Structure 1
Amino acid sequence: MTAVEVAVREYATLGEGPTWDTAAQRLIWVDILGSRIHTYDPVTGRRTVMVTEQHVGAAKPRTDGGLVVNLRDGVGIYDFTGFRWLHRDVVPGRRGNDAAVAPDGSLWTGTMRYDEARGGGTLSRIAPDGTAATVLDDVAVSNGTGWSPDGRLMYYIDSPTRSIDVFDVGADQLPINRRKLASVDEGFPDGLTVDADGCVWVALWDGGAVRRYTPDGELDRVIELPVLRPTACAFGGADLTDLYITTARTGLEAPHPLSGSVLVVPGAGKGLAQPAFAG
């Protein structure tokens, strides 16, 4: 049986977006509805918590230090000077959700309406200089985004579709030729990560598990979890072999005691070093 351990015991309302910060050797994750950015050093056990003024969908490290964040009203930067907006895009009833950094250092940001209405969300590419381009504009709940080890494929999840989709990456680094990699029949696919073998690991909201799919879309591993609502996963640790999983309590009448905590599966596989945002 796969050993699932507790990395960070917490009561996050909507824990999300685990990201291994290679430079600082720490895990970054957020509580979206709690408006908090957390960090965790698994070697020392040191934790930090920063409160944001808006709901925060994701926080990623920057090459120049600090964090780039996907907030309710757009994308901003926290660094030694404080906070500044990089790209502001205010849409009433909408907030930022999951985000990912592409191999070229650009930030791919998802949005969604609070009521999760179809077509109310987007997926956009934010260049290092803050220039934004909407890539998908008919999204309900924009979630997991990731790239194959060679950068030729992009994986994407719009959760209510229950589909994990794959695109080819065009010469301009934009996705083309969308098709289905796999469908989920238990729960809803949420956040994802891609490992060194090119396999896609997906957290299942309301499915109580993380699944691993091969590049051909075959299900080859399931990690059952004690919580109903895992939200996302990422490899971390010095050798990138530990799988960290964020979880949520929101919407549950009787959440498991570990709901809202960060779980970890030591030695689950071999991850890829994630690039920092180049802006």
Structure 2
Amino acid sequence: MTYEIAVRAEATLGEGPTWDPVGDRLLWIDILGARLHTYDPVSGRRTVRTLDQHIGAVKPRAAGGLVLNLRDGVALLDPDGTFRWLHHEPVPGRRANDAAVAPDGSLWAGTMRYDEAPGGGSLSRIGGDGSVDVVLDDVAVSNGTGWSPDGRLMYYVDSPTRRVDVFDHDGGRIGNRRAFAGIEDGAGFPDGLTVDADGCVWVALWDGGAVRRYTPAGELDRVITLPAPRVTACAFGGPDLTDLYITTARVGLAAPHPVAGSLLVVPGAGKGLAQPLFAG
């Protein structure tokens, strides 16, 4: 599979590609640059909004606008640009990281410490009313989260473990955690992930320069090799959800590859799942 450059950029820590079906656009972020990007693949139109603090994820809302996983909590951005906190909980030394919307419309928002200390992060379920339920409280770097097509399984990455884990999922509750796929030494660390319409799990590899696809049985069956070593996340987008968008990072690289920090795309990579909108 051959990649193309969707948006040439120099994002410090590009992350979180998400297809917005309402605006027919791709949302993505630069965590450490505190920037929210949008990209319309038809017109090529792009926008960039700089925020007041680091952002870990952005997702579209059922009520219109966006929900943001930020350093100091979860906030709402209304269609008119109005910003307001839904859940404000600043913790010194901690920031937001990856997040995903569950089949019931709740936001599963991850956090981590800036120093990546073990146990310093968490994964919380945020309801549309701002209610918070901490579902995992012993995490180092909370990363990729996604659900099987029937919603009965949840896949999850705590990057230093070098594993993608899977949980049974029912009514917003998870249990029976077990390993789904392991990343061997020298192949990088699992970062963001997405699940396709066939139930396969696509995983971005930080310091691995690749995106891997695993079958529902956890078997590796496809690898997309990329020149940027720090591949951070992937998501299907476009009107028919067949194009795989991939974010990359430049942070920590002495001599970044020219595409590092850009938004990449692999046209026709597969068939994605329509993602739920946040219920807030």
Is the TM value for this pair above 0.5?
A: yes
Partner of 2:160: helix, strand, or coil?
A: helix
Q: Map 1:89-238; keep pairs closer than 5 Å.
A: 89-170=89-170, 172-185=171-184, 186-238=187-239
Q: Can you give the 5+ residue segments of structure 1 that lack an aligned partner in the other structure? A: none
Partner of 1:12: helix, strand, or coil?
A: coil
> Counterparts of 2:167 and 2:172 in 1: how far apart (Å)?
11
Deviation at 1:7, TM superposition (A): 0.4
> Percent sequence identity over matched residues?
74
> Counterparts of 2:47 and 2:81 in 1: how far apart (Å)?
19
> Counterparts of 2:35 and 2:125 in 1: how far apart (Å)?
24
> Counterparts of 1:61 and 1:125 in 2: how far apart (Å)?
16
Aligned-residue Cα RMSD (Å) equals 0.6
Q: Map 1:31-50; keep pairs closer than 5 Å.
A: 31-50=30-49
> Counterparts of 2:87 and 2:148 in 1: how far apart (Å)?
27
Deviation at 1:65, TM superposition (A): 1.0
> Counterparts of 2:172 and 2:75 in 1: how far apart (Å)?
23
The answer for the alignment partner of 1:261 in structure 2 is 262
User: Is 2:226 the partner of 1:252?
Assistant: no
Normalising by the residue count of structure 2, what TM-score does the alignment of the two structures yield? Answer: 0.98
Give the counterpart letter for 2:3 in structure 1.
V
Which stretches of structure 1, 4 residues or more, deviate above 6 A after TM superposition? Answer: none
Q: Alpha carbons of 1:246 and 1:175: their partners in 2 closer, same or farther (altered >3 Å)?
A: same
Deviation at 1:81, TM superposition (A): 5.7
Partner of 2:115: helix, strand, or coil?
A: coil
Give aligned pairs, total.
277
Q: Alpha carbons of 1:81 and 1:270: their partners in 2 closer, same or farther (altered >3 Å)?
A: closer
The answer for the alignment partner of 1:58 in structure 2 is 57
> Counterparts of 1:274 and 1:23 in 2: how far apart (Å)?
11
Normalising by the residue count of structure 1, what TM-score does the alignment of the two structures yield? Answer: 0.98
Measured against aligned partners, the alpha-carbon deviations of 1:209-236 in whole angstroms (never above 9, x if no partner) come to: 0000011100000000011001000000
Measured against aligned partners, the alpha-carbon deviations of 1:195-221 in whole angstroms (never above 9, x if no partner) come to: 000000000000000000011100000
Deviation at 1:134, TM superposition (A): 0.3
Measured against aligned partners, the alpha-carbon deviations of 1:16-65 in whole angstroms (never above 9, x if no partner) come to: 00000011110000000000000000000000111110100001111111
Give the counterpart letter for 2:164 in structure 1.
I
The answer for the alignment partner of 2:25 in structure 1 is 26
